[in-house]
Amino acid sequence: MTGAPAVEIAGWLPAVFSAAEELATTALGYDGASLISAVAGMPCEAEGALVPLTSDRHSLQCGLFCSLDTCRSIVASMLGMDDGDELDDADVADALGEVANILGGGIKARMVASDSALTLGLPVVIKGSIEPLHTQAQAIAEVLLGDHRVWLVALTTSATA
């Protein structure tokens, strides 16, 4: 373990947004991403996925959430399908996990100078709101990926928890 202090929640956000921007332009074919605002929470019907990034100094969960309709549009873009093409729930869930996976990989690449020991875990798909524990700090940014409104989520757990 190094003596360097752990990165606070705000320190992760530029990497989260930058990774989401890359996801939008490269994997989804959108023009780009723009930040709307930081928000306290998401609508309870949101759907998305979180992926862990952990080391001996950090425990981060990060991911992307959106409405079900937006999820389907994003997945269709990712797969090169038209919005009207059929997607079953399992395909959407799998793709949301992959979105979180790509996002997590992008964050890791951008934060490697701060913590080279970060390890990317496997994603988990979530329907509904996230309730942070008292040992966790959460940051949510409302963002436009192309024309699609999404919420980028970062959740850190205190090393002393």
Partner 1 sequence: MRILIADDSKTMRMIVMRHLRQAGYGDGELVEANNGAEALQLTRNGHFDLVLSDWNMPELNGYEFLLAFRGDGGSSPFGFVTSESTPEMKQMALDAGARFFITKPFTADTISEHLSSVLVP
Task: List residues near partner 1 by CB under 8 A.
Answer: 22-23, 26-27, 75, 78-80, 91, 94-95, 97-98, 101-102, 104-106, 108-109, 112, 116, 120-122
Amino acid letter, residue 78: M
Q: Which is nearer to partner 1, 95 or 154 (CB)?
A: 95
Find tokens 């930040």 and name the residue. 35
Shorter beta-carbon distance to partner 1: residue 88 or 131: 88
Smallest distance, partner 1 to C-beta of residue 77, A: 11
C-alpha Rg value of the chain to the nearest Å: 15
Q: Minimal distance in Å, beta carbon 149 to partner 1?
A: 20
Q: Give 38 or 122: the residue with its C-beta nearer to partner 1.
A: 122
CB of 29 to partner 1, least distance (A): 9
Of the pair 10, 79, the CB lying nearest partner 1 is at 79
As measured in angstroms, the least distance from the Cβ of 124 to partner 1 is 13
Nearer to partner 1, 137 or 144 (CB): 144
DSSP line for the chain = --SSPPPPHHHHHHHHHHHHHHIIIIIS--S-EEEEEEES---TT-EEEEEEEE-SS-EEEEEEEE-HHHHHHHHHHHHT--TTS---HHHHHHHHHHHHHHHHHHHHHHHTTT-TT-EE---EEEES-----TTEEEEEEEEEETTEEEEEEEEEE-TT-
Residue 76 beta carbon to partner 1: minimum distance, rounded to whole angstroms: 11
